[in-house]
Amino acid sequence: MLLDLSFFNWDIIHDYVLKGLYFSIQLTVIATLGGIFFGTLLAMMRLSGNKWLELPATIYVNGMRSIPLVMVILWFFLLVPMITGKPIGADTSAIITFIAFEAAYFSEIMRAGIQSIPRGQVFAGQAVGMTYGQNMRLVILPQAFRNMLPILLTQTIILFQDTSLVYAIGAYDLLKGFDTAGKNFGRPMEAYIGAALVYFVICFSLSYLVKRLHKKIAIIR
């Protein structure tokens, strides 16, 4: 089968691809924000020194990091309706599972960022009467976010690549858009080549920007 370049035209991009790209970007942004929020809470629980907070957070993080994301997606999508008796949409299922899964990875990034801050700053905050929460919110976390920003963005790029896994539950992501176009026009090879090129261009461009950001942060330090 020869490659048909006429397959790549604006009508196909507009009618099939942009819809999927929009959902992939939307899922990436929501999962990143949710993952960082809950991941930060998990990191603080693990570093709190309270075993009742540390133990469940550790079990959750290690458990999630030991399971493939596609299995988490399928389990949630298939088992939750059986338990609740109510169907759950593919888009909603994808958003919830991505936030829950990515929180474990962002937690480890944030934990490393928090631990990279000199202990003297923690003691200084305690010396002026700050609580654990105030110390984290006002002193430690702002510095940790700056230190970990390149790694957080790199994890976000990986997250964007992983959005293609929602194809398994029928969500209309970028890969699904190309796949649908390929089936409708009988050009599956061109569709998958096009999908690979789009993923490459987006991820390579973002990786380059992250590399430049990392250099700037290194200069500031």
Per domain, the residue ranges of the chain are 22-175
pLDDT at 42: 95
pLDDT at 99: 97
Q: At 62, phi and psi to the nearest 5?
A: -65, -35
Measured between alpha carbons, how far apart are the two ends of the chain, in Å?
54
Contact 135, 126 (CB under 8 A): yes
Helices 90-115 and 141-162 pack at an angle, to 10 degrees, of: 140
Q: Average pLDDT for residues 43-52, to the nearest whole number?
A: 89
Q: Which of 47-51, 85-89, 162-166 has the highest mean pLDDT?
A: 162-166
DSSP state letters, 85-154: SS---HHHHHHHHHHHHHHHHHHHHHHHHHHTS-HHHHHHHHHTT--HHHHIIIIIHHHHHHHHHHHHHH
User: What six digits make up the tokens of 6?
Assistant: 């006429």
Q: Choose the weakest-confidence range: 15-24, 85-94, 182-191.
A: 182-191
pLDDT at 182: 82
* Residue 77, pLDDT above cutoff 80: yes
pLDDT at 142: 83
pTM of the model: 0.87
Helices 90-115 and 51-64 pack at an angle, to 10 degrees, of: 120
5-40 per-position pLDDT tens digit: 555 665 666 677 888 999 999 999 999 999 999 999
* Residue 220, pLDDT above cutoff 70: no
Count Cα atoms within 13 angstroms, Cβ side, for 171.
30
Q: What residues contact residue 165 under an 8 Å CB cut-off, 6+ apart?
A: 69, 70, 73
CATH code at 22-175: 1.10.3720.10
Contact 122, 164 (CB under 8 A): no
pLDDT at 218: 63
Which of 184, 51, 4, 38 lies closest to 109, judged by CA? 38
Distances (CA, A) of 58 to 43, 75, 111, 114: 9, 21, 11, 16
Q: Which secondary structure element, helix H or strand E, spans residue 216, and what is its range? A: helix 188-220
* Number of helices followed by number of strands (H, E) in the chain: 10, 0
Distances (CA, A) of 50 to 82, 99, 124, 147: 36, 25, 21, 26
Q: Which of 16-20, 61-65, 122-126 has the highest mean pLDDT?
A: 61-65
Alpha-carbon span 30 to 122, nearest angstrom: 31
pLDDT at 121: 76
